[in-house]
Structure 1
Amino acid sequence: MTDLLSADGASLAQPLQPLAAVLTGADNPYRVLQWLGRSPAAHLLGRLALDPEALNHKSLDTLPQRAATAYVRGLLVTAGILPPRDENLALLTNWVARTVAELPARHAHLIRPFAEWHIIRDARRRSARGRYTYAAHKGDCGNVLAAIDFLNWLDSQYLSLRRLQQPHLDTWATDRPTLRSRSIPFLRWSTARRLCPPGLSIEHPASQLPGHFQAEDEARNELLRCLNDTALPLDVRVAAALIRLYALPLTRIVELTEDHISRDQEHTYLAVNQHPFVLPPKLARLIDDQLQHGPRHSNTARRRYLLPGHSPGRPRNPLGLADTLRHHGLPARAARNTAMMDALVDLPPMVITDLLGIHPKTAERWATLAGGNWSDYLAVRRAAPQG
């Protein structure tokens, strides 16, 4: 480690000593030796260590954003050399800067303020509340890309925002169904700033009700596999059980940390959307084991994720986790749909909205699918005395 992190191979600079302590603190030194010899992240770290003063987020942001870069950044944050930051927000801001820089000037002068003052500003608000997920970052990038595609389409039609009319928008929405919803934020932003004629609109496509469900026996058997099958990887058992018991989406599961787990003398609790759920004893033990035996770097990270990712201080990628669950015969979508329907049998949709943090309109659609009617519940709430 001294050979890697020092210029003379004899002594470590003071700022790098916490990093060396993190890297040499593993139970199995042979894995660290393999990492030193083979990992692109180790080679990158060795180059960066030649100039410790340049070890900062800004310098790392100028490098190609590969897996090695993310891993090194996570190590430096874990060691306390770099301050922690919201990496999902940083991914968005850096991506916007690179993307806008490649646009022609006539498009950049529209996309830059839209992205910076609308998309990124809203992302900062969500980040301040601790709710800016990787999925949210991907969605925001998709909104910016849709705006760029829309401007390119206007050019191909020899149109401008000033000359835009409703028939043009209808044609756009029909020809590009996958971008239809994504282009709405840019149109609203442009209309509010009088960059295009008033009264233009793109209707949201009709919401599709979920169509993938499991039979009752299948759902029960899969949950039993999660709780009892020791041949399954521990992280797979934990994630799949949380989906089947609490209808949690993978984007929320990967953001769970040890701070969401609490205990008293009788029970273990999982806090979701600030509401604690009592965990079944078997699942509580699985979660304890996962936190104890997770990846090496997760044990030294300041923010310990329940499902840590490859890079220190970062959670699992939900898309990769979905693939892993599918590989082990525990797909997420149908199981979550089934768990949501089961929850609606016992709880009104308004309660589901509050507990799981889903949008009320989403809960209403689920209630329609389940055949429930929550007007009686709302009437009871209005009639109840306010405490």
Structure 2
Amino acid sequence: MRWLSESPSARLLAGLAAADRPISHDLLDELPPGHAERYLRHTLIATGVLPPRNDDLERIPAWLDAQLAERPPHHGQLLRPFITWVLLRRARRQAGDRLHATSAAQRIRRRVRLILEFLDWLDAHHLDLAGLDQNRLDTWLRNLTGQLPWLFPGVVPGRPLSRKAFNDRLARQGIHTRPARTAALIALATELPAPVLADLLDIHIHTALKWARHAQRDWSTYLTARATDLTAATQPAQP
């Protein structure tokens, strides 16, 4: 009874009931974001009133609207289709658990901020994407990297911590990077052609092809094996 009389979430629920509209995730998305809204949403999911959803990902559209609210219209025209139909669509397809959905949402937010910074730079230099060439892009990238301090500085001034030293620090905390690295390489090999993967990660093309085969990107091995099994199954048994 105390929760009903004092909780902000209860007051939100009372307001929704008074609105005489079906309770849905879309309706809750219209509420001011905050602890009360999140608590109410998860309560309704736990009680079966609402179906489960990847909330970290589904909050991205409203967050994107807030980011674009005071920006030139062409920023939204460029960014919204890419976020909605590429990044969010891919993240929803791949989100198998809460941890993956949360990390995917964080990556999308970082990419949005970076793209907006790039669009601001284009506007400041009176450029559009059609007029962008490699030299100008390289200039922006140099400026970007010059603004970013090393998150883990190394012993040598101005240089980052080496990969081995970083891995040793993680291992002392019980964190082993090889499984995560393997999973990341498999995910990239699933999404990218081997030549692109080799160029992106600066690895040999033969190594990229091995990762592509490991990820079974083209499914050719599976299809061949499946065809063999079906052929064997349709042949009459020998007396």
TM-score w.r.t. the length of structure 2 is 0.61
**TM-fit CA distance, 1:71:** 0.4
Alpha-carbon contact 2:13-2:40 (below 8 Å) kept: yes
| In 1, Cα distance between equivalents of 2:5 and 2:46 | 21
* Aligned residue number for residue 357 of structure 1: 183
Name the CA shift for 1:89/1:43 in 2 (closer, same or farther; >3 Å).
same
Write the letter of the residue equivalent to 2:47. Answer: A
Write the letter of the residue equivalent to 1:55. Answer: I
Q: In the alignment, does 2:60 pair up with 1:73?
A: no
Write the letter of the residue equivalent to 1:340. Answer: H
> Of residues 105, 119, 137 in structure 1, which corresponds to 2:87?
119
Write the letter of the residue equivalent to 1:160. Answer: D
**TM-fit CA distance, 1:107:** 1.8
Q: In the alignment, does 2:13 pair up with 1:58?
A: no
Name the CA shift for 1:166/1:72 in 2 (closer, same or farther; >3 Å).
same
* Aligned residue number for residue 91 of structure 1: 59
Within a 5 Å distance, the mapping from 1:127-138 to structure 2 comes to: 127=95, 129-130=96-97, 132-138=100-106
SS at match of 1:162: helix
**TM-fit CA distance, 1:142:** 1.2
| In 1, Cα distance between equivalents of 2:146 and 2:62 | 25
Name the CA shift for 1:207/1:89 in 2 (closer, same or farther; >3 Å).
farther
> Of residues 160, 163, 166 in structure 2, which corresponds to 1:211?
166
Alpha-carbon contact 1:100-1:108 (below 8 Å) kept: yes
* Aligned residue number for residue 82 of structure 1: 50
Alpha-carbon contact 1:76-1:82 (below 8 Å) kept: yes
Write the letter of the residue equivalent to 2:30. Answer: T
Within a 5 Å distance, the mapping from 1:185-264 to structure 2 comes to: 209=163, 211=166, 213=168
The gaps in structure 1 that reach 5 residues or longer are: 2-32, 181-205, 215-332, 342-348, 362-374, 379-387
Within a 5 Å distance, the mapping from 1:271-310 to structure 2 comes to: none
Write the letter of the residue equivalent to 1:115. Answer: I
**TM-fit CA distance, 1:212:** 7.1
| In 2, Cα distance between equivalents of 1:208 and 1:360 | 24
* Aligned residue number for residue 162 of structure 1: 130
Name the CA shift for 1:63/1:72 in 2 (closer, same or farther; >3 Å).
same
| In 2, Cα distance between equivalents of 1:104 and 1:208 | 41
Name the CA shift for 1:359/1:57 in 2 (closer, same or farther; >3 Å).
same
Deviations 1:264-304 (A, max 9, x none): xxxxxxxxxxxxxxxxxxxxxxxxxxxxxxxxxxxxxxxxx
| In 1, Cα distance between equivalents of 2:171 and 2:8 | 38
> Of residues 50, 68, 75 in structure 2, which corresponds to 1:107?
75
SS at match of 1:119: helix
Name the CA shift for 1:71/1:159 in 2 (closer, same or farther; >3 Å).
same
Alpha-carbon contact 2:54-2:101 (below 8 Å) kept: no
Write the letter of the residue equivalent to 2:166. Answer: G
Write the letter of the residue equivalent to 1:42. Answer: A
Alpha-carbon contact 1:36-1:42 (below 8 Å) kept: yes
Deviations 1:225-273 (A, max 9, x none): xxxxxxxxxxxxxxxxxxxxxxxxxxxxxxxxxxxxxxxxxxxxxxxxx
**TM-fit CA distance, 1:154:** 0.7
Write the letter of the residue equivalent to 1:57. Answer: H
| In 1, Cα distance between equivalents of 2:146 and 2:38 | 30
Name the CA shift for 1:84/1:108 in 2 (closer, same or farther; >3 Å).
same
| In 2, Cα distance between equivalents of 1:358 and 1:69 | 34
CA RMSD in angstroms comes to 3.6
Q: In the alignment, does 2:166 pair up with 1:340?
A: no
| Aligned-residue identity in percent | 31
> Of residues 168, 171, 186 in structure 1, which corresponds to 2:139?
171
Alpha-carbon contact 1:173-1:179 (below 8 Å) kept: no
| In 2, Cα distance between equivalents of 1:80 and 1:119 | 29
Alpha-carbon contact 1:88-1:134 (below 8 Å) kept: yes
Alpha-carbon contact 2:9-2:39 (below 8 Å) kept: yes
Write the letter of the residue equivalent to 1:211. Answer: F
Write the letter of the residue equivalent to 1:153. Answer: W
Alpha-carbon contact 2:167-2:176 (below 8 Å) kept: no
* Aligned residue number for residue 41 of structure 1: 9
Name the CA shift for 1:98/1:172 in 2 (closer, same or farther; >3 Å).
same
**TM-fit CA distance, 1:42:** 2.5
Question: When the two structures are aligned, how many residues end up with a matched partner?
Answer: 178
**TM-fit CA distance, 1:213:** 4.6
**TM-fit CA distance, 1:40:** 2.0
Name the CA shift for 1:211/1:116 in 2 (closer, same or farther; >3 Å).
same
TM-score w.r.t. the length of structure 1 is 0.40
| In 2, Cα distance between equivalents of 1:207 and 1:166 | 30
